[in-house]
Structure 1
Amino acid sequence: MTEQSTDYDSPWKEVIEEYFPSFLEFFFPLVYAEIDWQRDPAYEFLDTELQQLEPDAEIGRRLVDKVAKVWLLGGEEAWVLVHVEVQGKYDSKFAERMYTYNYRLYDPHKQRVISLAILADEEKNWRPSSYGYQLGGCRVSLEFPVAKLLDYEAQWESLEQSTNPFAVIVMAHLKTKATHRNPQSRLQWKLSLVRRLYEREYSREDILKLFRFIDWVMMLPEELAQGFKAVVKSYEEATRMRYVTSIERLAKQEGMVEKAREDAIAVLETRFPEVPNSIVERINGINDPSMLKTLFTKAILIGSVEEFQQVLDEVVSG
């Protein structure tokens, strides 16, 4: 099990959308305090505006970005740009990209933009929070709030006491990072975090959503995954919380993964007269739906089995 096998960006996008007010309250309380949450709707995501920026190769690949329109307590409209550098490491261009996104969102719409960054990397001393330059008496600058997930390791007790969904999310993320070479330890932490969902008395809907995040990022080898499901089922029965259909959801997800494997292999076998067993075995060993989707697309477009083998090596190795 390698760190590259974990899909971080999709679950982070999902939980930010599901819990946007809680997200701001947890990481950026000053921003949260300025927004009029009594409005209906209090916010809306502007995916179209963000997508218009994505094709620009100059600003590179963005892992998790969300733009939301909100209304401030004074009645003014503002836009909140959230960037989560989930799998990142030191990047000398990060602050410049934050600045670029900020002004490119402002320029066509003339709406003030609040830029926020979540740094979920493992570089303790990397904390970009501003970008600027001056030339000939002209000064340009942007300062933006940053939340560093590593900082929460020292606040573990506070995370355990918090009922904000992002306390669980941060704990899951930190323990995923900490256990990427120790699947047995990851299993124990995964069980502990799932048990906490019940003990904190979250609603049924919240338990399902947070369970999905935990299960998504804290991937386990197949033999441990089966044990995890058995323990969760037993715990649900012992606590009489059978309304949580976690196992059924897992079964559905497994069925989707199995179909994705079969589809990728079927395309290869249709297009090429001979597909090596080594390729089939490696595809059957992949549990990540996003990886399988990529391989399915490549299987349709690729020119040869040899080229597909190279793509497979790149996808699996991260």
Structure 2
Amino acid sequence: MPKPSTRCCIETMRDDPATPIDDYDSPWKAAVTHAFPEFMGFYFPRAAAEIDWARGYDFLDQELAQVVRDGELGRRLLDRLVRVQTRDGDEQWVYVHIEIQGQRDPDFAERLFVYNYRLYDRYRRPVATLALLADASPGWKPRGFRYRRFGCHVAIRFPVAKLMDYRTRLDDLLTGANPFALVTAAHLLTQQTRGNAPDRYAAKWRLARLLYERDWDRQRIIDLFSVIDWMMALPDELQRTLWNELEELERKQHMPYITSVERFGIEKGVQIGEQRGAANLLLRLIERRFGPPDEATRERIRASDPDTLLNWSERILDAKTLDEVLH
């Protein structure tokens, strides 16, 4: 998941101090991981039709982090690199670079251009860049980047899907067969109910009921509910009410999913524990290499996300000063 400089919650709910900040990047990564073929089929159907899904696919997030680590331009929700194979057999492997952008950014198209040629330079294989825009600016839809000098013309043009374009199709989303129809609906309803906890509760409860009505396997329902639950943050009191309603729904429909969903919450707690362990390990490495850090540095490290801690831990191998590690 992203670094602090690029982490973006599209909208925040601070009208009510008891309401947590809406978290978009974590659930989007979970959703893409759990259902990548459906993600492609929903937002980029033409590309999905050219992929040989029977031959599998591989996420290459660590490789992507190495390629773009010094190109942190703008703010985004998520970027992922996936290796796939095509149906036509002409290319053994194609790299799909997915960028989910959560905020309008004048440098967005240039960044995709930079990442695309860096990935090509690394792998010497075709790289397809695809952009999903999750921002709240209806008229912003960059599609490419180009420049021309002295007869040399360099350009990239990439497919774009924009979540706000689905606003008029909310009813279709709520009845759609693709799981990303509900994920898109959850994203839009999260934006629409910002600062209005009762409406947020009603929207989340409706999505949960629709999810339980789908003829999907048990694990998919658990995974998607986890995404919706994570995305549509509620004040504690309303969240407890929602859990009670879900428990009653499961009792009536004889669908015991709630235990697994509760386990997801425990897993989030484990992730927090892992983050703390990584922060403590980095602090020990810093102390051995550069001496005891000051309290401000300690607090900064303890508050950082796992991806940032990993990057800093890698830098410490070659850095000559603490500033080189952290900046």
| TM-score with structure 1 setting the length | 0.77
Q: CA deviation at 1:159?
A: 1.2
Distance 1:65 1:301, change over 3 A: farther
Q: What is residue 82 of structure 1 aligned with on the other side?
A: 98
Q: What is residue 5 of structure 1 aligned with on the other side?
A: 21
Q: What secondary structure does 1:38 align onto?
A: helix
Q: 2:270, 2:172 → 1: CA distance?
A: 37
Q: Is the 8 A contact 1:229 1:247 kept in 2?
A: no
Q: CA deviation at 1:17?
A: 1.2
Q: Is the 8 A contact 1:43 1:68 kept in 2?
A: yes
Q: Which moved more, 1:103-112 or 1:157-166?
A: 157-166
Q: Does 1:65 align with 2:57?
A: no
1:170-213, CA deviations, whole angstroms, 9 ceiling, x for partnerless residues?
A: 01111111111101100001000000011122210111000100
Q: Which moved more, 1:236-245 or 1:121-130?
A: 236-245
Q: Is the 8 A contact 1:176 1:217 kept in 2?
A: yes
Q: Is the 8 A contact 1:118 1:148 kept in 2?
A: yes
Equivalent positions of 1:92-171 (< 5 A) are 92-171=106-185
Q: 1:208, 1:29 → 2: CA distance?
A: 25
Q: 2:59, 2:177 → 1: CA distance?
A: 25
Q: Which moved more, 1:243-252 or 1:192-201?
A: 243-252
Q: What is residue 287 of structure 1 aligned with on the other side?
A: none
Which among 26, 30, 53 is matched to residue 42 of structure 2?
Answer: 26
Q: CA deviation at 1:59?
A: 3.2
**Long gaps (5+) in structure 1:** 268-299, 313-318
AA partner of residue 83 (structure 1): E
Q: Is the 8 A contact 2:74 2:107 kept in 1?
A: no
Q: What is residue 285 of structure 1 aligned with on the other side?
A: none
Q: Does 1:303 align with 2:295?
A: yes
Q: CA deviation at 1:250?
A: 6.1
Q: What secondary structure does 2:200 align onto?
A: helix
Distance 1:23 1:58, change over 3 A: closer
Q: What secondary structure does 2:295 align onto?
A: coil
Q: What secondary structure does 2:96 align onto?
A: strand
Q: 2:54, 2:264 → 1: CA distance?
A: 36
**Long gaps (5+) in structure 2:** 1-12, 281-291, 304-327
Q: What is residue 211 of structure 2 aligned with on the other side?
A: 197
Q: What is residue 250 of structure 2 aligned with on the other side?
A: 236
AA partner of residue 14 (structure 2): T
Q: CA deviation at 1:241?
A: 1.1
- Higher relative CO (CA 8 A, sep ≥ 6), structure 1 or 2? 2
Q: Is the 8 A contact 2:68 2:115 kept in 1?
A: no
AA partner of residue 144 (structure 1): F
Q: What is the identity percentage for the equivalent residue pairs of Structure 1 and Structure 2?
A: 41
AA partner of residue 241 (structure 1): M
Q: What secondary structure does 1:121 align onto?
A: coil
Q: 2:263, 2:72 → 1: CA distance?
A: 40
Q: CA deviation at 1:127?
A: 0.3
Equivalent positions of 1:14-53 (< 5 A) are 14-39=30-55, 42-53=56-67
Q: What secondary structure does 1:79 align onto?
A: strand
Q: 2:293, 2:210 → 1: CA distance?
A: 45
Q: Is the 8 A contact 2:75 2:105 kept in 1?
A: no
Q: What is residue 324 of structure 2 aligned with on the other side?
A: none
The alignment of Structure 1 onto Structure 2 pairs a total of residues equal to 269
1:206-229, CA deviations, whole angstroms, 9 ceiling, x for partnerless residues?
A: 110001001001000111111111
Distance 1:308 1:45, change over 3 A: closer
Q: What secondary structure does 1:5 align onto?
A: coil
Q: 2:159, 2:262 → 1: CA distance?
A: 40
| TM-score with structure 2 setting the length | 0.75
Q: Is the 8 A contact 1:204 1:244 kept in 2?
A: no
Q: Does 1:176 align with 2:190?
A: yes
AA partner of residue 303 (structure 1): E
Q: 1:12, 1:92 → 2: CA distance?
A: 23
